[in-house]
Amino acid sequence: KWSGWIEGISLNGYEMIEYGYALRPNFWRAPTDNDFGANLHRRFVDWKNPGLKLKSFKAEEQGNRVQVVTTYELPRLAAVLTMTYLIGGNGAVDKEKKDMPHLFRFGMQLVMPGRFDRIDYYGRGPVENYDDRNESQRLGRYRQLVKDQYYPYIRPQESGTKSDIRWWKLTDIDGRGLAIRSDVPFSASALNYLPEDLDDGWDKDQAFRRIETTWIDHLVF
């Protein structure tokens, strides 16, 4: 209750969230070369660390589900974020989405243990695709490995996102994991790197650094 974040999701003692992390809102991604060219990484920098401060936490039963509503202040942006979860006895968690102003990203970030290394989704693929260039990829069902999602650009940057997704599963070799569904198409990625591992910061300094030399034993969704 002190943070308002979901810090654990387990099934029969099988933990889905990496210890020390939580399911959190995410407003940032690693800037691309195009972002640097348009100076977007500086224009939107306040969204990188908006300073979320919990103001209220409310939970109440609604039939066979529990509704949890959390409200946060974003001091650096003079904004308020309200998050609503509907948690059912079958393990389903529904999350409401509101329209937002233009920014790098508006979604959720989940860090899972490294054993969840398989992707199964229905959307555009098989290679990475984004809203500005996704029509070259066909809609379909794709099964891939997390280790193959990052594209080794000369300079580390945002990579691996798939768009127009209807449903997305992230599982281990035995098929255990999480499934995400939405009423409208969405975008998602799964990488063996945190966004800050790929973020070049204020200026381009990583032109010749190869991100493959960095490995972390969990994945970011």
- pLDDT tens per residue across span 71-108: 999 988 888 999 999 998 777 777 665 555 567 888 89
pTM of the model: 0.83
Residue 219 above 60 pLDDT? Answer: no
Residue 146 DSSP label: G
Q: Which amino acid is at 165?
A: I
DSSP string, 100-114: --S-S--EEE-EEET
pLDDT category of residue 111 using cuts at 50, 70 and 90 = very high
- pLDDT tens per residue across span 13-23: 889 999 999 99
Whether 68 contacts 58, CB under 8 Å: yes
Q: What is the largest CA-CA distance in the chain?
A: 56
- pLDDT tens per residue across span 187-211: 999 999 988 888 877 777 765 444 4
What token pair was written down for 69? 């509503």
Supply the mean pLDDT for the chain: 86
- pLDDT tens per residue across span 27-64: 888 888 888 888 888 888 888 888 899 999 999 998 88
Place of tokens 């690693």: 30
